[in-house]
Amino acid sequence: MILDVDTGTDDAIAIMLAALHPDIELVGVTTVAGNASLAHTTENSLRVLDHIGHEVPVFAGAAGALVPSTAVSDQSERSRRIHGDLLDLPAARSTAQPRRAAEFLIDSFPEGGDVVLVPTGPLTNIATALTLDPGLAARIPRLVLMGGSHVRAN
C-alpha cells in the first residue's frame, strides 16, 4: 500500500493503522499540502512513523493546488484550524526522501504490480504523476479514495 496524505490528525491515524496492521505492507507515504502546508504534512508523517518505530520512506509532493482557487484556499485555512499545523509529537528524527512524490508514484506501479494506492488528501500528487506519465492510470491495480467536498473541508 502507498498512502498519499496531507497529514493532520486524521491521516496520522491512517498512517499508524496501515503501518501497524500485520496484513499490510506500507511501501511508502507521499505527502501533499492540504490540511496543512507541505512542510508540515511531511514533518507530521515523519513524526508519526518515528513515534511508532516504523521505517517507511516518505516522499514530499505538491505544495499547492495545480489550479489555485480562492475557495480551496479558504477551505484549506479552515482545515488548518481544525487539524493544526504540527502534531504534538517529538520532532522527526528521520527525513524525507530526495525524490519527489510524483516520481515515486510513477516508479511504484510497474505493469502487473499489486500495490494499492490510498489517497486521503488532495489528489495533486496523483494528478502530477498522471501528467508526467499518462500510462500510469492503467498500471494502478486498485485505488481506494476518501471522498471530500467541493464546498466544505472534508
What is the per-residue burial (b if ≥16 Cβ within 10 Å, else e) of 80-104? beebeeebeeeebeeebbeebbbbb
Rg of the chain on CA atoms, in Å: 15
| Residue tagged 499490510 (cell numbers) | 24
How far is Cα 11 from Cα 48, in angstroms, rounded to an integer? 10
**Residue of 4, 6, 85, 133 marked active site:** 6
- Active-site annotation holds for 6: yes
Residue 142, beta-bridge partner list: 116
Q: Which of 89, 65, 73 is nearest to 7 (CA)?
A: 89
Supply angle C-alpha 83, 102, 67, rounded to 5: 65
Q: Using an 8 Å Cβ cutoff, are 53 and 94 in contact?
A: no
Kindly list the catalytic residues: 6
